[in-house]
Amino acid sequence: MRPVAVVGIGKTAFGAFPDRDLRSLAVEAIRNCLADAGASPGQVEAFYLGNFAGPSFAGQSHLAPYVAAAAGITGIPATRCEAACASSGAAFFQTVSGVAAGLYDVVLAAGVEKMTSQPTPRVAEILASAGDLGGEIKAGATFPALFAMIARRHMHEYGTTREHLAAVAVKNHDNGFLNPQAHMRKRITIEQALAGKPVAEPLTIYDCSLVSDGAAAVLLAPLERVSDFAGKAVRILGIAQASDRVALDEKDDITTFRAVKVSAEKAYRMAGVGPDDIQIAEVHDCFTIAEIVAIEDLGFCKKGEGGPYTADGCTLRTGSRPVNTSGGLKAKGHPVGATGIGQICDLVIQMRGEAGERQVPKAELALAQNLGGSGATAVVTILSAL
């Protein structure tokens, strides 16, 4: 396999944009990405689009060529990847694979979701379709309910508290406040987080990610060609995708995501590094408990210690291993099809030293973890500065 690098990044702001459609968001991110790389649409040899539910949210199918053509890209393979909230993580994995294998030299990956065009009950229904239709959905379970069960079991097994969950929310809101592209730029206190409106006990509104619109894009090329592009490149040291059962009740242990552990082990092995080497991470905090489980499954702390690890400040921007300096899904926003590639863009911004007030001093080895559903898909990527 050839070494691969990210040579360009582009994003939109994440938020609620009633005057924007799915295609315009995706095109904005793609154009920003190509401009960052100093590349033209004609240089792109293949296109992968991460999108979870464009047909349900926006009523449009055949999305990859629909988006690519609007960005001036035609005549090449254009493929949509769907893996629930890990859709653009999966698209990124396919993009890396194509360049590494030598099938293409210059490949574009993007992720997009337009969620706010539907009322909240319909959004919850669409999102629930990433779960088990015959069991969970038939029983009326939504993802807040499923992750509430994960949180409650983690509390029972390991003594995790609501204060631990709140510490995740407070930290990510603080980071989001400093991110000009975040959906919710609002600082909160532990007391506010604990007193939030209940959603699914023990989760409150401050434990749940946002319903957002947005898009993100990256351009990839062989490492040997980074000098052909204008953007400051970042090398992809390791990447892996794994899957697990969709239904929560079919898992042996709901306090861990097996797909995360498997993909992390493979990515670490490919990169030749371990958890202790990672200096900064963007993890999939669709709910606060998901960040706690993620940092345990990724090996940043021992199983069951994610809550205290967070409460002790280890994941702060000033901590020993900053996590979600973008604000995470919790504050930056969670346009589900854009989230995975959005994480890559946020890490590249840090590794370039362009994160402004959110900049951490050491961001030379980074990790992104993108989750689909209640752990049925996971993509873990390890990036290295050049």
pLDDT of residue 231: 84
Task: Please report the pLDDT score of residue 265 as a whole number.
Answer: 98
CB 168 within 8 A of CB 310: yes
Which fold, 139-208+237-385? Peroxisomal Thiolase; Chain A, domain 1 (3.40.47)
Average pLDDT, the chain: 97
Is the pTM of the predicted complex or chain greater than 0.85?
Answer: yes
Q: Give the residues of the chain that fall short of pLDDT 50.
A: none
* pLDDT for position 89: 98
The answer to whether 244 and 258 have CB atoms below 8 angstroms apart is: yes
d(Cα 180, Cα 182) in Å, to the nearest integer?
A: 6
Q: Residue 127: its pLDDT value, please?
A: 94
> What residues form DSSP beta bridges with 238?
382
CA–CA dist 286, 288 (Å, integer): 7
Q: How far is residue 88's CA from residue 381's CA, in Å, rounded to a whole number?
A: 12
Find, among 35, 28, 42, 26, the residue nearest to 7 by Cα. Answer: 35
- Fold held by 4-119+211-235: Peroxisomal Thiolase; Chain A, domain 1 (3.40.47)
Q: Which amino acids are annotated catalytic?
A: 85, 334
C-beta atoms surrounding 26 within 10 Å: 32
Cα–Cα distance for residue pair 170/191, rounded to 1 Å: 10
pLDDT at position 24 = 98
**Residue ranges per structural domain of the chain:** 4-119+211-235, 139-208+237-385
Give 215's DSSP letter. E
Q: What is the pLDDT of residue 203?
A: 98
Q: What is the pLDDT of residue 140?
A: 87
pLDDT at 71: 98
Give pLDDT, residue 174: 98
Q: Let me know if the fold of 4-119+211-235 is the same as that of 139-208+237-385.
A: yes
CB 337 within 8 A of CB 86: no
